[in-house]
Amino acid sequence: MKEVAAGGAGVSPCAACKLLRRRCSPGCVFAPYFPSGEPHRFASVHKVFGASNISKLLQEIPAEHRGDAVSSLVYEANARVRDPIYGCVGAITSLQRQVESLQTQLALAQAEMVRLRMANAYGTARHGRNGGGSTASGSPSSMSSPTKTADHHDMAVDQSGVMELELECSRFWSF
């Protein structure tokens, strides 16, 4: 990951060595993870954790996991710079609240779908029994205000429609 400096005479130091103003050795532990073109990454990690701690951490972690560790350190450092008290926990909490809000909205939408399907099934069953002359359309407004000519026999729904609605409701409430 080291770059040849202009003129071909030397090697450009990694972002960590540049910031720390030291010579970048060929075995520099920071060089593969903090290239010279991205100095802001090391700057934020160094500000939060310190170069010595990062160096120790990287030397203790197996080489195949160091890239992931550096990504996590950069994320946590940036979160700590934005929110010094909570860091990434604040971001996680905010995202959890968003998920809860969206789940509530989804549940309300699903409940509305079930309600509309039930209204539709009621209207269809009522329409079929009255020979097509029913005044109820199955809309929510017709469900809430029954007509004066309706008798108690109009309230019955065919069994297949009821079974289908019960299945829909059980699927909805199983979440």
Residue 93 lies in a domain: no
How confident is residue 171, by pLDDT bands cut at 50, 70 and 90? Answer: low
Residue 151 lies in a domain: yes
- Examine the domain organization and report whether 73 and 113 are in the same domain: no
Total domains, the chain: 2
Structural domain span for residue 38: 3-82
Residue 95 lies in a domain: no
Residue 99 lies in a domain: no
**Residue 145 in this model has a pLDDT that exceeds 90:** no
pLDDT at res. 136: 45
Per-residue pLDDT reduced to its tens digit, 25-51: 988 999 999 998 889 999 999 999 999
State the chain's mean pLDDT as an integer.
Answer: 78
pLDDT at res. 126: 77
- Examine the domain organization and report whether 109 and 141 are in the same domain: yes
pLDDT at res. 74: 95
Per-residue pLDDT reduced to its tens digit, 64-112: 999 999 999 999 999 999 999 998 899 899 999 999 999 999 999 999 9
- Examine the domain organization and report whether 9 and 74 are in the same domain: yes
Q: How far is Cα 162 from Cα 151, in angstroms, rounded to an integer?
A: 20
